[in-house]
Chain A
Amino acid sequence: MKIEIQNLRKKFGSREVLKGLSLNIEPGAVSGLVGPNACGKTTLIKCILGLTIPTSGEILVGGKSIHREWDYRRKIGYMPQNPNFPPNLTFIDLLEMLEDLRNEDRSKSCEELVDIFGLRECLDKPFSTMSGGTKQKCAAVAAFMFDPDILILDEPSVGLDPVAALKLKELVLQSVNKGKSVLLVSHIMTEVEQLVQRMVFLLEGEAAFSGNVDQLREQTGEDKLENAIVKMMLSRKPERAFEIIGHHQRMGSQ
Chain B
Amino acid sequence: MTQFLTLLKYELMNVLRGKWLFLYALMFSGIAYSIGHLGGDTMKAALSLMNLVILVTPIVSILYASIYWYNADGFTTLLLTQPLRRWGIFVSRWIAIALTLSLCFVAGTALPFFIQQTLTGPLVTLLLLGTALTFAFTSIGLLISVLFNDRMKGIGAAFLLWFYFSIVHDGLVFSQWSFFANTPSKTHLWSLLPPTLSTWFASCSL
> Which A residues have a C-beta under 8 Å from some C-beta of B?
49-51, 70-74, 76, 78, 80, 82-89, 93, 97-98, 100-103, 126, 142
Contacts and interface: CB of A to CB of B under 8 A. Distances in A.
Interface in B150-203: none
Given A51-B81, A71-B83, A88-B18, A97 B75 contact: no
A217 B87 CA distance: 47
Contact of A101 (B6, B17, B71): B6
B28 to A, nearest CB: 22
Interface of B: 2-3, 6-7, 9-10, 13-15, 17-18, 71-75, 77-86
In this complex, the member of B73, B80, B81, B82 whose beta carbon has the largest number of chain A beta carbons within 10 angstroms is: B81
B7 A88 contact: no
A149 to B, nearest CB: 13
Contact of B78 (A74, A76, A83, A103): A83
A153 B140 CA distance: 35
A86 B14 contact: yes
Contact of B80 (A49, A86, A89, A93): A49
Nearest to B75: A86
Contacts of B15: 88
Contacts of A103: 2-3
Given A83-B74, A85-B74, A86-B72, A101 B14 contact: no
Contact of A102 (B17, B75, B77, B82): B82
B145 to A, nearest CB: 15
B83 A73 contact: yes
B182 to A, nearest CB: 51
A72 B83 CA distance: 7
Given A49-B80, A101-B6, A101-B82, A84 B13 contact: no
Contact of B77 (A51, A71, A87, A93): A51
Nearest to B73: A84
Given A88-B17, A89-B10, A103-B3, A73 B81 contact: yes
6 contacts: A71-B83, A84-B77, A85-B74, A101-B79, A102-B82, A142-B78
B92 to A, nearest CB: 11
Contacts of A71: 83
A187 B82 CA distance: 26
A78 B18 contact: no
Given A73-B81, A101-B6, A87 B71 contact: yes
B13 A89 contact: yes
B74 A98 contact: no
Given A51-B80, A84-B77, A101-B83, 14 more contacts: A50-B80, A51-B81, A73-B81, A76-B81, A80-B74, A80-B77, A85-B74, A86-B10, A93-B13, A97-B6, A100-B9, A101-B3, A101-B7, A103-B3
Nearest to A76: B81
B74 A74 contact: no
Given A88-B13, A93-B13, A100-B6, A82 B81 contact: no
Nearest to B79: A101
In this complex, the member of A74, A76, A101 whose beta carbon has the largest number of chain B beta carbons within 10 angstroms is: A101
B13 A102 contact: no
B113 to A, nearest CB: 31
B137 to A, nearest CB: 22
Contacts of A70: 83-86
A49 to B, nearest CB: 5
A85 B2 CA distance: 22
A231 to B, nearest CB: 34
A106 to B, nearest CB: 14
Contacts of A51: 77, 80-81
Contact of B74 (A84, A101, A102, A126): A84
A191 to B, nearest CB: 22
Contact of A73 (B2, B13, B14, B82): B82
